[in-house]
Structure 1
Amino acid sequence: MSTPESTGNDAFVKATQDIKTLSKPPTNENKLKLYGLYKQAIFGENTTAQPGMFQLEAKYKWNAWAEHKDKPKETAQKEYIALVEKLLAEDKQ
């Protein structure tokens, strides 16, 4: 099973831990962005079957991951780190 640690990117590993320190949960929109970037950074392309129309949560997650199609894992990691840093900075205000 792939993990953040398996990427070899210490900054990405730190970001996956830092996001848990927010004083309030991110918005649903940001949760989906984080989810899609995380999945692309860890697993690469989304090759799973698209969920059915009645599986709303699964469909939102699938779409969030599919938005990053053809994005290199390293780019997804950098974007994930940048989003976490932005959310942490907003959290301190």
Structure 2
Amino acid sequence: MELVNQFENAVAESKTLPEKPSNEILLQLYALYKQGTTGDVDTDPPSNMFDFVAKAKHEAWTELKGKTKEVAMQEYVDLVKNLKG
């Protein structure tokens, strides 16, 4: 339960970071969030091959397949801590 609280706090803190993270870090945050809340990717890849953002998000999440929700949550918390400085 403690990890869930830390995760929820990190999600809130991620919206108030001192500076906007790079696109790579944003993708990592997205993928860890999805893996931590939903688990393995449960959607089909985007059908529009020109929707590069949706494709990148789907691929980032897919790369975490098999990672437990708990590990993903902890990695998200750690990443936000590092971003806060």
| Pairing 1:1-93 to 2, within 5 Å after superposition | 9-52=4-47, 53-89=49-85
Larger RCO, structures 1/2 (Cα 8 Å, 6+ apart): 2
Gaps of 5+ in 2: none
Deviates more, 1:50-59 or 1:60-69: 50-59
TM-score (norm 2): 0.91
Query: 4+ runs of 1 displaced by more than 6 Å?
Result: none
Gaps of 5+ in 1: 1-7
Deviation (angstroms), 1:62: 0.3
What do residues 14-34 of structure 1 show as CA deviations (whole Å, max 9, x unaligned)? 000111121221110000000
For residues 45 and 69 of structure 2, the distance between their equivalents in structure 1, rounded to whole angstroms, comes to 21
Identity of aligned residues (%): 44
Total equivalences in the alignment? 82
What do residues 54-93 of structure 1 show as CA deviations (whole Å, max 9, x unaligned)? 111100010111111000000000000010000001xxxx
